Amino acid sequence: MRKLLLLLLALFLSITATISPASYHITSKITPKRMEQGESLPSDSLSLSSGSAVLMEASTGTILYEKDSATKRPPASVTKVMSMLLIFDAISSGKIRPSDPVTVSEHAAGMGGSQVFLEVGEIQTVETLLKCISIASANDAVVALAEHVSGSEESFVQAMNEKAAALGMKHTNFVNCCGLDDPDHYTSAIDIALMTRELITKHPEVFNYCGIWQEDITHTTRKGSSLFTLTNTNKLLKQYPYATGLKTGSTSQAKFCLSATATKDHMTLIAVIMAAENSRIRFAEATKLLEYGFSTTSIYSDEIKGTTYTLPVKKGASDTLQMTCQNNFCYLSRTAENLSQVEKKTKLPKEITAPVKKGDAIGEISYYLNGQQLGSIPLCADQDIEKAHFTDYYRKLLLEYLP
């Protein structure tokens, strides 16, 4: 008799589930409020003499200043920002490991320009070659790693151009991985900022290499072993207290170039200089850009990506729904706003009715300052939850009432 009553109750519940009210869903995708990229100073307001310049806030990608930012120019060894991006991509994907041995080819050893004088047949680890690239801007080291990752420099350069296109670098074409001058090898200040942002955001471990001021490596060849001292080409590391990296470059055609990164008060800026007349000017004008950015810009950030929330589910195959924040929240201010007064509000229904689709926006976290909404982050369902059927109700009842 007891089992019959349970069966009838389950049947009644399954019928009422088919006439439940509509589910509560927020379908619009809301992104944080950001400044328009064109909202920057006039190109001559900082009186920079370098050919091109860009100042970018890294977390949002907002352009704070630009001068001839889209002009195509030879980038010299700043090219290696893209090379390092692909190398770190290969490490993170498991394609190569920092401890892997790399045998130096005749092509790599024959690179001119800046080098660490690798010899044909010499074996160095991936990590050591990364240090040679990021500290000493070594052309021979970057070609050796390009060949290790892709089989040849040509294949690696093809991947560089594919990555550039994927990042929206509209003024870029690479023909080598090291930055030697070539009429068809060019990029722009804005494109350098884009690839720099991708590198430092996706692979912050790059700072473990480009932040080294000086380090010895060991050459081991048939002639024996010898020490070689790497000294960082980025003098900004010593000249500017907030500098963290990243890459210098100079050739007769490119003149003096730099992609500089600096962090202060939890904000990271990227300053790009192209075609400076000398090394002193590139560092001085990068410093001027960084100081301008830090003095006129502040940022509020909430590192909430991956934070989870749980809701009860009515009439679903599962009783609970988990949601995850898909992004961090960042708000960039160019005024004297007091960002410590930002208020955070979470909007969620008390419960939700099945069905639910994975990725549905169920609620949102909103941010306010002085009563004005700065932006919000959606809270999205982590899984599908179907409407409960008779068997689901029956199983629940059995689990609840039967021993």
* Predicted confidence (pLDDT) at residue 34 exceeds the cutoff of 80: no
Q: Which of 14, 23, 50, 80 is catalytic?
A: 80
pLDDT at 347: 92
What confidence tens digit (pLDDT) does each residue in 272-316 have?
999 999 999 999 999 999 999 999 999 998 988 889 998 898 877
pLDDT band at 31; cut points 50, 70, 90: very low
Domain covering 19-34+303-386: architecture = Sandwich (2.60)
pTM of the model: 0.81
SS3 of the chain: CHHHHHHHHHHHHHHHHCCCCCCCCECCCCCCCCCCCCCCECCCCCCCCCCEEEEEECCCCEEEEEECCCCCECCHHHHHHHHHHHHHHHHHCCCCCCCCEEECCHHHHCCCCCCCCCCCCCEEEHHHHHHHHHHHCCHHHHHHHHHHHHCCHHHHHHHHHHHHHHCCCCCCECCCCCCCCCCCCEECHHHHHHHHHHHHHHCHHHHHHHCCCEEEEEEEECCEEEEEEEECCCCHHHHCCCEEEEEEEEECCCEEEEEEEEEECCEEEEEEEEEECCHHHHHHHHHHHHHHHHHHCEEEEECCCCCEEEEEEECECCCEEEEEECCCEEEEECCCCCHHHCEEEEECCCCEECCECCCCEEEEEEEEECCEEEEEEEEEECCCECECCHHHHHHHHHHHHCC
Q: Report the CATH superfamily, name and number, of domain 52-296.
A: DD-peptidase/beta-lactamase superfamily (3.40.710.10)
- Catalytic residue status for 235: no
Q: Which of 83, 137, 250, 298 is catalytic?
A: 137
Q: Where are the domains of the chain?
A: 19-34+303-386, 52-296
Question: What is the mean predicted confidence (pLDDT) over 364-378?
Answer: 92
Bigger pLDDT: 188 or 381? 188
pLDDT at 191: 98
pLDDT at 6: 45
Bigger pLDDT: 363 or 74? 74
pLDDT band at 319; cut points 50, 70, 90: confident
Q: Which of 14, 50, 77, 259 is catalytic?
A: 77
pLDDT at 398: 52
Percent of the chain surpassing pLDDT 70: 85
- Catalytic residue status for 20: no
* Predicted confidence (pLDDT) at residue 26 exceeds the cutoff of 50: no
- Catalytic residue status for 137: yes
What confidence tens digit (pLDDT) does each residue in 329-362 have?
989 888 878 888 999 999 999 888 889 899 888 8
